[in-house]
A and B are shown apart, each in its own frame.
Chain A
C-alpha cells in the first residue's frame, strides 16, 4: 500500500535518511523503531509532506506522492498523529476534531464521523466543549488520534503514541491501535517502546543513523538480544 524506495533526506549538509526502502502492506501494522536521532520522526514528516526528500520514491496505492505538499498526502489518505499530541490547546475538543476534517466538504459525513469519534473515544464525549489543553495526556492522545481519523485516512502514521503516558494508559493505547487496525486501517507506528511495537505490529524495521539496519517480524524483536543490544542499546 505504502511503498518507500531509496528515500534520501538531507538537512543542509547532514544526510538524515540514507537509501531507506521498506513497504507497509495494506491492512497491516508496521513498526519503525530506533533510538533518538535515528531519523524516525524525519521519516514520518517526509511521508506526510512536511519534509521534501532529496531523492527516492514514496508510492501510495501505486501513485507517486514524493514532493507533494502536506495537504496532498492528507487528501490521498495518509495522515499523521504527531509526537507529543500537538493538539490545539486553546480550542475545544469538538473544534479539534472538526478541523481534522478540514480537507473534506461532505458535511453530513463529517457530522456522522464526529459522532463516531465519541463512540470510539467515549471518554471525550463529556469533555467536547472543554479546551483540549486542559485534558490529561491520555485524553489529548485520543483527541490527536480522533482528529487524524476525521480526515478518513487509509493509512495512519503514529509517532510515538505511548511517549509520556502512564503504563495503564499505554495499555489502553495499544488496545486502541489494534481496534483501529481491525476496522481496516493500515498503520505505520514509530516507537521507542519496543514492548508496544511488539504487542501490536506484524513487521518491524529498525532505523539506525538514517538507515534500515534490521527488518523482520516484530514478535521476534523482544527475544533477539543481538538486535536489542546493537540497535536499541539494551
Chain B
C-alpha cells in the first residue's frame, strides 16, 4: 500500500505536468493545425528563465513563475511573428519543420546562455523535501505543491477558454476558421495568441517541474514526447483529453518503474498508447464524442 500510494501520487504529479505540456500542444494544434515540435524546448527555456530569476537574481518563487509564463508567452508571440507568419502561405509540412528548427534554435541558445554553468542545474525545493505520512500514504510535499499548481493552471485555462472573450474567439477559430473570419475575427492574431498561450503554459509547467527535476538544455525532448503522447491519447484536439492522457502516461510510467523495472518507465506508456490507438485511433475521448452525436 505504501509503495502503491507513493507511486500513484508521484505518477499523478508528473502526469499533471505532462498534461500541461499536452495542453500547450493541443491549444496550438486546435487553432493552427500545427504540432509544435518546439513545445519541449519552450518548456526547457522557460525552466531556465525561472532558474535565472529565482536562483541567479534571488527573486521569490512566484516572481520566477511570472517570469517563466510571461517569458514563454512573449517567446511564443515572437516566434510566431518571426518564423511562422512568414511561412503562413506554405504547406503544413513547412510549418511543422519550422517548429523543429525552432527547437534547435532554443536548445542552442540555452546552451550559449546557461550551458557554461554546469551540465545539470538544480532548482531549490519550494517546500520541505522530506516526505510526510498521512495514515498509510506517503506524501512528498514538493510533489503536492506541483500537483496543486498544475490543477490550478488547468482550472485557470479552462476558465479562460470558457468565460473570456479572447478564449471564446480562440475556440470559435478552432471550431470553424471561415466562420470566424466572416464575423471579423483576425485569424492571424488568433494564431499568434495560440502560440503565445501554448508557450506560456509550457513555461508554467516548467516552473512547477523545476524543483522536482534537474535543468539541462536537452531536457525538453523527453517532456515533449510524453506530452505529445498524452495529447495523442486525448485525441490531439481535446483539452480534457490532454489532461486524461497526461495523467495516464504519468501513472503508468510510475507504476511500471516501481513494479516492473525502472527501464520500463520510458517504454510502458508507449505500449499503452499503441494499444489505445489500435482500439481507438482518434484518441480516448473520441468514443464519448461518437456517442454524443
Contacts and interface: CB of A to CB of B under 8 A. Distances in A.
Contacts, number: 63
Interface stretch (B37-45, B138-146, B164-172): B164-172
Contacts of A148: 183
Interface stretch (B65-73, B173-181, B216-224, B270-278): B173-181
A127 interface: no
A17 to B, nearest CB: 19
Interface in A204-223: none
Contact of A69 (B171, B178, B179, B186): B186
A103 interface: yes
Give chain A's interface residue range (CB within 8 Å of chain B): 20 to 34
Contact of B182 (A79, A91, A98): A79
B110 to A, nearest CB: 37
A75 B185 CA distance: 11
B179 A87 contact: yes
Interface in B172-211: 172, 175-176, 178-186
B184 A75 contact: yes
B168 A95 contact: yes
Contacts of A99: 168-169, 172, 180, 183, 185
B172 A91 contact: yes
Contacts of B181: 50, 70
A190 B172 CA distance: 25
A109 to B, nearest CB: 15
Interface string A41-73: 000000010100000000000000000011100
Contact of A70 (B165, B175, B176, B184): B184
A11 to B, nearest CB: 15
A195 interface: no
A86 B176 contact: yes
A100 B184 CA distance: 8
A122 interface: no
A91 B181 CA distance: 16
A90 interface: yes
Interface of B: 165, 168-169, 171-172, 175-176, 178-186
